[in-house]
């Protein structure tokens, strides 16, 4: 590792701020939903910067963009880095795109120093990581890594019925057929999206793996009734079932602390009128934990709670699991490269598990991989108030640079 080689902090920050003007919101965030016009503009800027570096740019059938900086022996599998450019609605300026633009800054630094590693380095901008417009999340990397088939990926729809395939064609990013990924090692740099690093006064998170996730959709059905004429004891109020369920889900999360996460994220009452007893309550639930066995136990408690609530409240109850992926342990050698780079650069750090889903979790099923976290202010993310410092941004990019160079040597 050549720790004298550092990224240009000011240039990286300028790139982040220029990208943040695309889809900028009134309160300092961005809305750059996947395959929107704003996403197209962000993609165009990424491609322009990559081509200015002499990179070969390819786009696959899911719209994933790969910018390849040639190595000394291009017959060798490349080292991959990058993240995603889409955002949440009224999201932050750094979630995802920081990892993409740190990759661009890494390549600029190599070019400035006339460094050509033995292996090529590719920077990827994945499609629809957030899942905020098209569900599920991480669909672009999922198709590229063989988790989902292409037909499934292209057929996902948004609330208005637009498919990913149609929107890729509309914005001009429907690319070449998916080819099996050939990757020697992969690294993703990201903001932590949590409060731990800042609270502990640390600069780098050496990420050793990712939590497993399980998503559920369900409902309680009772009887819609007049709010003024139906006695309390004769009601089959679906909202009461929902209220109990929210508390039960919270208790499940607390029961498996400190790593358990349990959230009721979306609810809908029907008919949703002020003078009608709700006859139906729809809801979504998400569980996260780094151990599959614990997720199984959380699942069992959830089913027991819903059955009990339904019987006690005289409600019909339904629940189905709609998405899951198993916990991921990152490659020990890639994690060691990140750790070594962090220590040689002198940054205060800790090892940690990612609580959020990231594209590299899918990539890790095909190639050795690891992640790097930097702090974000107050742990706020998926919010216009999301913030990092230029110093944190550069520190993470420097660690990424050293880890990528070591893997590409």
- Cβ-in-10-Å burial (0-12, 13-18, 19+) of 231 comes to exposed
Judge whether 95 is annotated as a binding position.
yes
Judge whether 14 is annotated as a binding position.
no
- If you ran DSSP here, which 8-state letter would residue 160 be given? T
Owner of token pair 């959230």: 263
- Distance CA(390)–CA(12), nearest Å, equals 8
- What residue spans of 223-368 are helical by DSSP H? 238-255, 292-313, 332-345, 359-363
- Distance CA(182)–CA(176), nearest Å, equals 16
Contacts 24+ apart (CB under 8 A), 158-162: 158/133, 158/134
Judge whether 382 is annotated as a binding position.
yes
Judge whether 38 is annotated as a binding position.
no
Q: For residue 181, which phi and psi values (nearest 5 degrees)?
A: -70, 135
Nearest to 158 by CA among 35, 38, 295, 339: 35
DSSP E strands in 60-137: the ranges are 65-69, 79-84, 121-126
Nearest to 198 by CA among 31, 337, 72, 377: 377
17: its two tokens: 């701020």
- Distance CA(329)–CA(258), nearest Å, equals 18
Judge whether 184 is annotated as a binding position.
no
Binding residues for Zn(2+): 84, 95, 130, 190, 382
Binding residues: 84, 95, 130, 190, 382
């Amino acid at each position: 590792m050549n720790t004298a080689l550092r990224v240009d902090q000011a240039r990286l920050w300028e790139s982040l701020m220029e990208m943040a003007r695309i889809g900028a919101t009134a309160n300092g965030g961005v809305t750059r939903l996947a395959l929107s016009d704003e996403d197209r503009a962000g993609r165009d800027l990424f491609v322009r910067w990559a081509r200015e570096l002499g990179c070969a740019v390819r786009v696959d059938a899911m719209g994933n963009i790969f910018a390849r900086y040639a190595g000394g022996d291009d017959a060798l599998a490349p080292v991959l880095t990058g993240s995603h450019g889409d955002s949440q609605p009224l999201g932050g300026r750094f979630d995802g795109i920081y990892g993409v633009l740190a990759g661009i800054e890494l390549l600029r630094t190599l070019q400035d120093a006339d460094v050509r590693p033995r292996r090529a380095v590719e920077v990827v901008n994945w499609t629809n990581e957030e899942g905020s417009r098209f569900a599920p999340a991480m669909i672009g990397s999922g198709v590229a890594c063989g988790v989902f088939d292409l037909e499934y990926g292209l057929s996902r729809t948004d609330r208005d019925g637009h498919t990913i395939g149609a929107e890729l064609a509309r914005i001009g990013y429907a690319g070449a057929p998916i080819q099996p990924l050939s990757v020697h090692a992969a690294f993703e740099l990201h903001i932590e999206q949590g409060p731990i690093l800042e609270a502990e006064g640390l600069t780098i998170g050496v990420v050793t793996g990712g939590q497993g996730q399980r998503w559920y959709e369900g409902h309680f059905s009772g009887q819609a009734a007049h709010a003024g004429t139906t006695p309390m004891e004769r009601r089959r109020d679906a909202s009461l079932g929902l209220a109990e369920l929210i508390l039960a889900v919270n208790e499940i999360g607390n029961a498996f602390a400190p790593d358990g996460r349990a959230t009721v994220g979306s609810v809908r009452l029907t008919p949703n009128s002020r003078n009608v007893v709700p006859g139906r309550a729809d809801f979504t639930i998400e569980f996260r934990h780094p151990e599959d066995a614990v997720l199984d136990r959380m699942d069992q408690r959830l089913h027991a709670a819903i059955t009990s609530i339904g019987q006690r409240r005289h409600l019909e109850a339904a629940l189905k699991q709609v998405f899951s992926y198993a916990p991921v342990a990152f490659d020990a050698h890639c994690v060691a490269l990140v750790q070594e780079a962090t220590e040689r650069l002198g940054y205060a750090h800790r090892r940690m598990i990612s609580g959020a889903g990231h594209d590299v979790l899918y990539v890790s099923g095909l190639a050795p991989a690891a992640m790097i976290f930097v702090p974000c202010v107050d742990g706020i993310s998926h919010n216009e108030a999301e913030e990092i410092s230029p110093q944190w941004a550069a520190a993470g990019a420097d660690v990424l640079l050293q880890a990528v160079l070591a893997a590409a040597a």
